[in-house]
Amino acid sequence: MTELEMIKSCFLTEYQMIHRPGALTLLEWMEGNGFFEAPASAKHHGAYPGGLAIHSVHVCDRLKRLAEVTRTFIHPETLAVCALLHDVCKIDAYTAETVPGPDGTPHEVRYKYTGGLPVGHGEKSVMLVLRKMKLTDEEIMAISWHMGAFDYRFKGGSGDMDAAFKRSRLAVLLHIADMMATYFDDDESGDGA
């Protein structure tokens, strides 16, 4: 089994918790559009093929543990939806560039942020998921605000993040799980170093 096949297998194990109508159609769309080969970022966490799927699994693991520690019940399906789909917006956000080494031969692959559809990070994930599968209001809030204070809406003065966090522990926990996975779990190089 290749590394990408192992990544996909881990993701699919968690995705099996999602049983609502449209879940299979969404998964097929994700697979057909390169979700399992996409990086999680251009140069930071998960900046390698499969980094997005690995990051999503890490967020799922962190969210499960945070829910347990904080004694917050999150329905297993909602947990999987939010953790695994929070960054679906990154499917078309990066293009790979091969950088030549000193001798001119291909040396490494780097990613360049191209952004894809410019509608906002969390909002784009919500929108893409809703095209195939329904979300609850709480799932929409959590996915939409998973970037927390890094979200440009917050930086622009929107009070909606605070309102969402006061209304939904899931939104707070998904943000924390995303930060923990990004800074504690995701390897920048993809080589385990």
User: Tens digits of per-residue pLDDT, 64-91?
Assistant: 999 999 999 999 999 999 999 999 999 9
What is the residue extent of each domain of the chain?
A: 3-185
pLDDT for res 86: 96
Give the pLDDT band (50/70/90) at residue 103: confident
pLDDT for res 170: 96
Residue 144 has pLDDT above 80, yes or no: yes
Tokens for 155, please give them: 């930086």
pLDDT for res 1: 82
* Whole-number percent of the chain with pLDDT over 90: 56
pLDDT, tens only, 147-191: 765 555 555 566 676 788 889 999 999 999 999 999 998 765 444
pLDDT for res 68: 97
Taking alpha carbons only, the member of 70, 31, 63 closest to residue 143 is: 63
pLDDT for res 187: 67
Q: Is 99 exposed, middle or buried (0-12, 13-18, 19+ CB in 10 A)?
A: exposed
Residue 94: φ, ψ to 5°: -135, 145
What's the pTM value of the predicted model, to 2 decimals?
0.86
Residue 113 has pLDDT above 90, yes or no: no
pLDDT for res 70: 97
* Whole-number percent of the chain with pLDDT over 70: 85
